[in-house]
Structure 1
Amino acid sequence: MSDGVVSLTSCNTPLLQPVWDGIREHAGARAAPLWGACVAFSAHVLLSALFLGLDALGPRAPWIRRYRMHGKPISLRAWLRCLARISWKYALCVLPVSACMGYAQTRRSAAQRERAAAPSLLVACSECLSCLLVFDTFFFVVHYTVHRNPWLFKIFHQSHHVNTHPFALMALDSSMVELASQQVLAMWSTMVVGCHPVSEILFHLLNIWLAVEDHCGYDFPWALHRILPCFGGAPFHQAHHQRVTGNYAPYFKHWDLIFGTAINM
């Protein structure tokens, strides 16, 4: 009888429960104010390094060159210079802003950790998608406004458009104000949706990957925009960098299609 109860209980356990239990066990480390920003920065650099490796293999691997959307890949020296620029901007601006937001969210995080159950996989995916849509919407509004105002563009966004041929790491190569605002917008999106901490972590990881993929300079057949046409992907965003106007949404296409700002390469 007891075996039957245990079996039934295990069947009703959410698939993500072990993940949530692990997060709760390490709640002290996760509550550290700089934890999120440091993990996000490290994840972005590691993912970008994968595409740097593809750039290095390109001359000896024709199949890699076939999927590259533009000519000469980024050199290691230029990549490291970009990493240095991003690092000091994070140290001076993004990390302090993240620390302030982390202290402000201490009470909210403590209440979230009291949840014993993890969300179902369906709920986690729906909450993650909702966060992406909220982030995408407000990013589109801000991005459109900055591009239509020459003063705002020059002060806050022009540094991101120095390279007309994007590479993965340059997704973070922006002004300090823009980097901090993107960090705030990502955290604010999860608060608007009110999602479970597991869904929040999934959103941040997916957000990082999509930013890297948008700037990677490769159009692989397994890229997300090939599987889900609602996403713009690397070709959509490269057109933005080459023409400077149009394709203002970071991930989805619908706002640019609705407002007539969608462009092709």
Structure 2
Amino acid sequence: MSTQLPLLQSLWDWVLTHDAWLHSPFFPVLFSLGAYLLLCLPYVVLDLLSPHVELIRRHKIQERSHVSWRVMWSCLAHSLYNHAVFIFPLTVLHWYWRRASLPAEAPGALRAAGDAVACLLLFDFQYFVWHTLHHKVPWLYRTFHKVHHKYTATFVLSTEYSGAWETLSLGFFAAVNPMILGCHPLTEMLFFVLNIALSVEDHCGYDLPWATHHLVPFGLYGGAPHHDLHHLKFKSNYAPYFTHWDRLFGTLHED
């Protein structure tokens, strides 16, 4: 048994005290939207300060890019619209179809970490295939994916700036993977937060010293520079997080 199990059990016990919320049809959409906005907030602050603070600008991937209030509000309104009009009705249907089953015990730490990483790797592969197809097939790009490429310089609130099809299909991958792998509900929540956090970091527009791609060795993780280059060049770096699929298929571009 992992020494971290008591911490996970305490966390899960706290989560279970909010049982009414967990069984509410509102919970999934509020959980994902709340996590997204909270994780975006530090980078929004950096975007607001960067025109005035040279130290922050030094870490911008595209140093000359600047995000206006108008663009930020436009992206935020677009995300809220997608959550209200598309994501919420589907989460209600999912709530009726699959009521939450909440065990009393938390998962073991090693099992939770292994399942979360497995979900992330599976999502990375699914996104790579989906993303490559939507760039290689002109009709798919024009009809669905072009919206997300409105901005060639990434910034954090562009993370969820996408059309309904893209929002729902990628959300489906993220939601179905824990079901496929039989994850504990706590692991599922941790994976959702991890996936949102990495996606937000991918689009933040900053190459910060403590970013994930600096922590993962051997260039196995692309991070914000990897994805920003995709928005700038369009024809490379299709995987969202890791680099192995782009290396394998010859679509990796490192600038």
TM-score, length-scaled by structure 2: 0.93
In 1: Cα distance, 2:4 partner to 2:52 partner: 51
In 2: Cα distance, 1:130 partner to 1:210 partner: 15
Question: What is the DSSP-based 3-state SS (H/G/I as helix, E as strand, rest coil) of the residue aligned with 1:172?
Answer: coil
Q: Is residue 2:156 matched to residue 1:164?
A: no
Q: Identity over the aligned pairs, expressed in percent?
A: 39
In 2: Cα distance, 1:62 partner to 1:243 partner: 26
Which of 88, 92, 96 is the aligned partner of 2:89?
96
In the TM superposition, residue 102 of structure 1 has moved relative to its aligned partner by 2.3
Residue 201 of structure 2 is matched in structure 1 by: 213
In the TM superposition, residue 12 of structure 1 has moved relative to its aligned partner by 9.3
Q: Is residue 2:240 matched to residue 1:247?
A: no
Residue 259 of structure 1 is matched in structure 2 by: 249
In 1: Cα distance, 2:65 partner to 2:75 partner: 17
Residue 69 of structure 1 is matched in structure 2 by: 61
* CA contact 1:14–1:120 (8 Å) conserved in 2: no
Q: Is residue 2:51 matched to residue 1:59?
A: yes
In 2: Cα distance, 1:46 partner to 1:99 partner: 23
User: Which amino acid letter does the alignment assign opposite residue 253 of structure 1?
Assistant: T
Segments of 5+ residues of structure 2 without an aligned counterpart are none
Which of 9, 12, 15 is the aligned partner of 1:20?
12
User: Which amino acid letter does the alignment assign opposite residue 130 of structure 2?
Assistant: V
Moved over 6 A (4+): none
Of 24-33 and 251-260, deviating more is: 24-33
Instruction: Map 1:1-265 to 2 at 5 A.
Output: 14-70=6-62, 71-106=64-99, 109-110=100-101, 113=102, 115-228=103-216, 229-265=219-255
* CA contact 1:47–1:212 (8 Å) conserved in 2: yes
In the TM superposition, residue 13 of structure 1 has moved relative to its aligned partner by 5.4
In 1: Cα distance, 2:140 partner to 2:53 partner: 42
* CA RMSD, Structure 1 to Structure 2 (Å): 1.5
CA 45–12 in structure 1, closer or farther in 2 if over 3 Å, else same: closer
The structure with more radius of gyration: 1
CA 191–264 in structure 1, closer or farther in 2 if over 3 Å, else same: same
Question: What is the DSSP-based 3-state SS (H/G/I as helix, E as strand, rest coil) of the residue aligned with 1:60?
Answer: coil
In 1: Cα distance, 2:170 partner to 2:164 partner: 10
TM-score, length-scaled by structure 1: 0.90
User: Which amino acid letter does the alignment assign opposite residue 36 of structure 2?
Assistant: H
